[in-house]
Amino acid sequence: MGLLSSIYDSCKEKRTYFGTKMKGSAIDEAGEISKGPAPRKGLKRGLSIMDFILRIFAAICTLGSALGMVTTRETLPFATQFVKFRAVFDDLPTFVFFVTSNSIVCGYLVLSLVPSFFHIVRSTSVKSRVFLLSLDTVMYGLLTTGAAAATAIVYVAHYGNPNANWFPFCRQYNNFCERISGSLVGSFIAVVLFIIIILMSAIIISKR
Amino acid sequence: MSTTIDVPESSKVTKGKAVIVGPQRPGGWKKGVAIMDFILRLGAIAAALGAAATMGTSDQNLPFFTQFFQFEASYDSFTTFQFFVITMAIVGGYLVLSLPFSVIAIIRPHAVGPRLFLIILDTVFLTLATASGASAAAVVYLAHNGNQDSNWLAICNQFGDFCAQTSAAVVSSLSAVVIFVLLIVMSALAIGKP
């Protein structure tokens, strides 16, 4: 423990040395760039605006995913080895979960635009930022869970599983398959945007 | 003369002393949060490595003849479960490597650097853990219930032990996900209040 603390303190000494001797930006061991108070406020405001814009994008992406999955319906015109000739997203509970989680996250993102706008206007609110970050993390978990579960089912639909005797139904239901595969894309883009939003919120909170 | 030479030296010496016994600000609640973070990280290591090990050792051979062609089920047969084992092992490895940063956060409770670094990496590995846990959960759900509309049979009816082990592994990985979320929120709280 003494070794770790002495290593950390020597890194801190270098940072204070740079901060007093050189004007301008210096990079410490965590990769933060330390600036003066006015550029810091500008950085916070810029990141808050970025956060607002990314939330709008993520809301559009999740809405697109949910709609794309909900409007799937394919009826086969001919007889196959399947008993059922119609595929709807309802048939697989995992896809129902996917639609539900994307809708919830989309609604949350639209509602969170209000606090996000408030954070642009008031750069010094920390408690509400921490609260929004914790809500973001929970919603991010929900979104990633839905997207990953649907991806696993789409994978089985494409490739099947000979060991479990699960037939890949994509061979028969081409349009249905294309639609469910495509609607995953929007969800994963929203996942990436969420990561960026959470990281930016953490950086804004750490700058005081 | 001697004082000007001594002063930088003694300041370094006092700084050195400050490392161990010097007047640092009392840790307060931030130190408690950091200790909680360390303990939760240990729990998450157990959960992640336990999930990987349980899934990795899941293998069942049926002794009797059934309507199935295959009488053996192992995690190898499912690509999703292979992904699960590899990912949970990576997450467990990251958690072990992040323990020193957690210790630094305990020793220096008011430092922002280690906690911010941990938040960033925790978010990335939260993604990995959630994705692997959720996709394995989807396949386990299929194995338990099957799907009539796509003619997928529920293999759990035949392979009971395999099913139980994979379900336990999924539960363990999702508890690691919950711990990750708690870690991120606690670090953000500790960073936020000066």
3-state secondary structure of A27: strand
Q: Is residue B60 part of a domain?
A: yes
CA dihedral A101→B129→B80→B168, nearest 10 degrees, is: -90
Going B125 to B126 to B127 to B131, the CA torsion angle's sign is positive
Question: Judged by CB atoms within 8 Å, which residues 33-72 of A form the interface with B?
Answer: none
Query: Of A203, A11, A208, nearest to B108 (Cα)?
Result: A11
Range of the domain at B178: 28-192
Q: Is residue B173 part of a domain?
A: yes
* pLDDT score for A155: 93
Structural domains counted in chain B: 1
Question: Judged by CB atoms within 8 Å, which residues 15-34 of A form the interface with B?
Answer: 28-32
Q: Is residue B47 part of a domain?
A: yes
Q: Is residue B131 part of a domain?
A: yes
Chain B positions touching A131 (Cβ under 8 A) are none
Query: Of A207, A154, A206, A201, nearest to A55 (Cα)?
Result: A201
* pLDDT score for B156: 86
Is pLDDT above 50 for A31? no
Is pLDDT above 70 for B2? no
Q: Which CATH class is domain A39-206?
A: mainly alpha
3-state secondary structure of A49: helix
Q: How high does pLDDT run on average in chain A?
A: 84
Residue in A with minimal Cα distance to B159: A164
* Percentage of the residues of chain A whose pLDDT score is greater than 90: 53
8 Å CB contact of B123 and A199:
yes
Query: Of B157, B152, B165, nearest to B75 (Cα)?
Result: B165
Beta bridge pairs of residue A73: A88
pLDDT in tens, B86-108: 999 999 999 999 999 999 999 99
Question: Judged by CB atoms within 8 Å, which residues 127-146 of B form the interface with A?
Answer: 127, 130-139, 141-143, 145
Over residues A167-186, the mean pLDDT reads 89
Q: Is residue B59 part of a domain?
A: yes
Chain A positions touching B142 (Cβ under 8 A) are 94, 153, 156, 166
Alpha-carbon separation of residue B17 from B23, B25, B31, B59, B91 (angstroms): 9, 15, 21, 57, 38
B130 CB-near residues (< 8 Å, 6+ apart)? A141, A144, A145, A148, B177
Q: Is residue B77 part of a domain?
A: yes
- Of B17 and B114, the structure prediction assigns the larger pLDDT to B114
* pLDDT score for B4: 60
Q: Is residue B4 part of a domain?
A: no
Is pLDDT above 50 for A19? no
Long-range contacts from A115-122, C-beta under 8 angstroms, 24+ separation: A116/A48, A116/A51, A116/A52, A116/A55, A117/A52, A119/A48, A119/A51, A119/A204, A120/A45, A120/A48, A120/A49, A120/A52
B36 CB-near residues (< 8 Å, 6+ apart)? B186
Q: What ipTM was reported for this prediction? A: 0.80
Q: Is residue B48 part of a domain?
A: yes
Question: Judged by CB atoms within 8 Å, which residues 48-87 of B form the interface with A?
Answer: 68-70, 72-73, 77-80
pLDDT in tens, A97-132: 999 999 999 999 999 999 999 999 987 788 899 999
Full-model pTM:
0.81
B154 CB-near residues (< 8 Å, 6+ apart)? B142, B143, B144, B145, B146
Chain B positions touching A159 (Cβ under 8 A) are 79
